[in-house]
Amino acid sequence: MNKFWIILAHTYMTRLKTKSFYISTAIILLFIVGMANFQTIVDTFSGEDKNQIAVIDESGELFEALQANVSSTNDDIELVAVEESEENVKEDVQDDVYQALMVLEINEEQLPEATYYSNNITESSTLTVLEQQLQQVKVALATTAAGIDQETITDIYSPVTFQKIALDESAKTDEELSQARGIVYVMLFVLYIAVLMYGTMIATDVATEKSSRVMEILVSSASPVTHMFAKISGIALLGLTQIILFVVVGYSVIQAKQEELTGGIFEYFGLQDTSLSVYIYGVIFFLLGYLLYATLAAMLGSLVSRVEDVNQLITPMTLLVVAAFLLAMFGLNMPESTIVTVTSFIPFFTPMLMFLRVGMLDIAFWEVAISLGLLIGTIIILALIGARVYKGGVLMYGRSSSLKDMKKAIELTKKEK
């Protein structure tokens, strides 16, 4: 057992001191801080200057209504009425005096029309605002001409009252679903990144040791099985270090910006008052999911002798993780769909999809128990097979890029016996 801890500590410390660990950690921390300060960054670079749009109102009656609509919905656009000729104002636009020129007129049907002149038409957000608000002016003029009261139009276009009431007393409310969706989304994303990053790291680490012939020394001092699980545990401890750091920094940033981080995506993915059971299930499925894929990655990594062959051999594992993640993203909005329900019992999909169902729905405990039993059983079987493949695989050298080499590795294990 002492050898297990020695290999675990060596794996952890070796990876902890690498430049890739510091760089990846720094990048993700910057991303977390950047997302929390996203609006501040946008405001800093956008500045306080408004986009000035010169307007020539040939009708003499559209500008005021359009200006009122735009100013009430957008603070970044300023309409400026000009009396000069179109050619002069176009020159001003080319000289960056104005961002654009808009010419307003009324057509034969007594409805507004506009022509927009700009150096380029890539400012889609500005164009969208102007078009929408001019459409509102058109609706107002048309309804007035038809003798329809404006308040009637407002009532017609106001959102319909639509209440959602679940008859099942155990069903989650909209607020509870929003809270669950937040933690489920975060845990799915963390599990996805952890499996891809640390699974690849385990496979690469094993292949690196084989390519440098260090493996021959290691297997002579400790059994391959001890070496495999020590390496899996060491990488897991490294991942836990990173995740704890991310959580601490993320929590600190959110607490500091709590008043600003309201509405929008933060309201949609609410993380407050989430049930404790969701966090418990999150940890359980995260650990089991990591063990499942880490064991598979170590087994596959033992089959290759060159680091260059690692990515090719672990491609099937990567595709499984990506498929599970895509299904989970689909399931965030349709957690009761048949495909999500069925695939949640498939061990390689269970960590993400069953956790999704537990977080979003009120499902029977026997369903969770069955999925956990299948998952744990698969991990045990995979560990037994993986130990045999690993034991023979670490002694295989030469080019290896096929899963057929698993048979050779198992045969080598039998010969040693």
Phi-psi region of 97 (alpha: psi -120 to 50; beta: other; left: phi over 0): alpha
pLDDT at residue 265 tops 50: no
DSSP string, 334-373: -TT-HHHHHHTTSTTTHHHHHHHHHHHS---HHHHHHHHH
Q: Which of 358, 204, 200, 356 is nearest to 290 (CA)?
A: 200
pLDDT digits (tens, 9 = 90+) for 104-157: 888 877 788 888 888 877 667 778 888 888 888 888 777 777 777 767 777 776
The CB-side HSE value for 49 (13 A sphere, CA atoms) comes to 8
pLDDT digits (tens, 9 = 90+) for 194-205: 878 888 888 777
pLDDT at 264: 43
Mean pLDDT (whole number) for 378-401: 69
pLDDT at residue 65 tops 60: yes
With a CB cutoff of 8 Å and minimum separation 6, the contacts of 370 are: 345
CATH architecture under which domain 51-157 falls: 3-Layer(aba) Sandwich (3.40)
Domain extents for the chain?
A: 51-157, 171-416
pLDDT digits (tens, 9 = 90+) for 83-96: 888 888 888 888 88
Rg (CA), the chain: 31
